[in-house]
Every structure is written in structure tokens, then in C-alpha cells.
Structure 1
Amino acid sequence: MSEPMDAYDALPFPRTVVALNTLDFVKGIEDQAIFNHSLRSYLYGRLLGERQGLLPDRDYDDELLFLGCLLHDVGLTHEGNRDCCFHLDGADLAVDFLTEQGVSPERAEVVWDAVALHLHHEIAVRKRPEIALVSTGAGFDLGFEGRPALPADYTDDVHAVLPRLHAAAVVHDTIVGQALDKPQKAPPFTPPGELVRQKTHEVWPTWEQLVTHPSGWNDYDGYRPKT
């Protein structure tokens, strides 16, 4: 059984109309494990930002960070399952929803970037904090960004309200399940593509095979590498 909305009253997040409407929207379409992960991504991203000296609504727009974190995995829902990699599908669904909420194109574009780039941490961290901290928070929650020292009582409190529910396993299986059904969602050498390769043991084409077919340019015909 999912948690009632008042279960999140003690969590520190923006209470704007758009933020609350987005919370309702995402909770209504996401698996509970992924929804909990999305909220934890915000809480951890904001705290890790503070460790970098970044304060909400002083150094970045807290509502935009919240929206980016909350929406970053909506590509893993039935509604967000379109025809591209899930992070791009999710970015498109996020903008569709925010536009319906009256969010300006400029603000919606920041959320699009945050969702689309959250798998590419090395790029995201070079962007504005509202984008960088989505990737940082999401990666930390799934264990990709190491374990910086956060107060144990804080993480315990977060997990008490937002239990993990096997989050990493659920995210993995949802990505792979979508891609097995629609192979174009997991091109070679992308994060979704790598997860599918690990699952299926498929052999990826080499660089030479990729650039030779279907272009037919034959750049390798007669080529001798420099020594």
C-alpha cells in the first residue's frame, strides 16, 4: 500500500503549487520504489550541495532542483515510455507536464536538461546547480557517487519516511524491461545499452563496423594506422 501524501509533511521541500502538483503527478505514475528514490535524490542532492557551500534560493532555485529530482525518472513509467532512451523520454514528459502547469519555457528547459543529463554526471556537474545536484543526488542514492559523510540520523530519518524498497534493482529492471521491448531505447555504448548488454550478453559492434555500415563511406578501405 502506498503512503498517504501527508506522510511527507515532515520532509523539507518546496510547497509551491507547481511543486505539490508535480508531487501528486509523479506519485500517481511511478513505482513506489522509484518515487521514493526520486524524493531521496532531492533531499540528498540538496544536502550534498550544502556541503559544497550551495544554499537553496541563494545559490540556486530550490523549486527547480525539486522538480528536476522528482521528474528525473518519469521515463520509467508507462506514460513516459516513448521511443528514446528513458532519460530523454522522461525529459520530454517533464516539459509536457510543466508546460501544462504554466511553467515558463525557460524554467522548463532547466528541468529538461536536468532530467536528460542525470545519467551523464561528468557533464551535469559542469552545469548550473539545479542540473548538477539532480545527478549528484540521484547518483548518491543509488550508490554511484561514493558515500560522503552524511549524518546517520539524517539518512535514517529519510529512510524511515522513504524506504528503499530495492530501489537500485527496480530501476535496473525497469530500464532493461523497457529496452527489451523497444530496442531503440538502448543504443550501443549508452548506459541503458550497457545494462541490456549485461542482461543479454549481446556482442556490440566495433567502431569500424558502426561507421562502415550503413554509411558505406568505406573509410577503412586501404587505411594504414600511423606508427
Structure 2
Amino acid sequence: MGQPLLFYAVIALSAMHVSQTTAPSARPVAEMYHTRCIRYLISLDSGDPLIEQGVALATTCLLRSYEILAEGHDPNRHLKGAYSLVSHSLASELQRNFFDDPSGGLLHSGFWNYLREDITFSLFGHYPLKIDLDHIPKLRNVSSDQDHLNAISLLLGRIINIAFGPTPEKAGHDWEVALSYIKDWLSDLPAHCEPFSRAKVPPFSGLPTAHMLKPCHGNTLSCDAPIRN
């Protein structure tokens, strides 16, 4: 790995995982490399190539996993740091076409990793995401399974912001828009993402439902590899 910052983050996370599973003595190594990462990140200027290329964001996402393993409660520090880097990237003129290619590059991967971490943290706490998704358009050029996963992650983030947001007077219209987006997303899915059965039962809500025989059948839908007959 040619980038020291990412290398430090990988070693910090790996050593912390080892310390929590098989070798507690690895914790000092994890903490040492974590400290190196923090010092390196603090030294970066706003226009540093490591920020523009997504290296800093990818590093912070790794450190987010590190802090979850390292502490008994979730301090949320590195998630806030990732939010700051994401906000900088989305505001940058260089990234004005950021979402035209929804699956390309380290910066994109860091964004989607951050978004899912933000979603998880918000669901546990029952409050909106740190990031405002209203100004982010629906994804274009969606083709791969990963693209479809990214698209529904963006929709889930919007729904969380509606559910836990401060403007209930807008919620009715926002729910209708979100539901229409979900229906569009479902209609665009390739055939191999469809459930193997759709039972005709009275609907429980306006949302489409898929009925599986066992919980594990539903879990297979989250796998990266397509399931084929």
C-alpha cells in the first residue's frame, strides 16, 4: 500500500480487531497507528490532494470502525470527521458532477461508506442524519448491483430525515415523493434482484412487499453477488 495514511488506518483497525478477539496485547499497536492517523489528518490543508482524491475520507471511515471497536460506547468522533470531509467534497467545484458516476473512485466509495454509517447511527438514536440529502439528486447512470444498492441507501437516508426531521408540516408531501422514488427504484431493478415469489395478499401499506419462506431468503437479497437459478 503506497499511501501511508491509509496504511496507518488499516493497521490501526486490524490491530484493534485482533486485540478484541484473539490478542489483547495488540491494543498498544492499534492505538499507536491511530495516533499517527490523527496527526496526519490534522496536518492536511483544505486543498490537499489526499482530501480531493478521497484518501482522507477513506481513512476516516476506517477510523470510524476503529472507534466502534475501541470504546464501550459510540463516541461518534470519526463519524463527525467523515461528515466534515463529505461536506467539503460535495461543496467543491471540482466535484460538481460527483453523482454522474455513482460507483467510481475512492472518494465515491468513502461517501457511500459514510452515508451508511450515518444511517446506522441515526437509526439507533432516532434522529436525522448529519448530512442534508435534499440537494442531492437521484442517481443517474445506475447499472450495476452496487449502483442500485447506493441508490436505495440514498433513499433510506431521505426517509430517515423525513421521519426524524424538524418539519412535520412538510412530511405528507415528502412521504409521497419518497414513495414514488422507491417505486421507481423497484421498477429499475434487474431481473436477478427480484424475489422468487410474490404472493397476492391484501396490502398492509402503500409500500410494495416481498414474501419469503425463511428469513435467510430475505438476507440473500443483500449479497453483492447475484443469485441465479
TM-score of the superposition, structure 1-length normalised? 0.31
TM-score of the superposition, structure 2-length normalised? 0.30
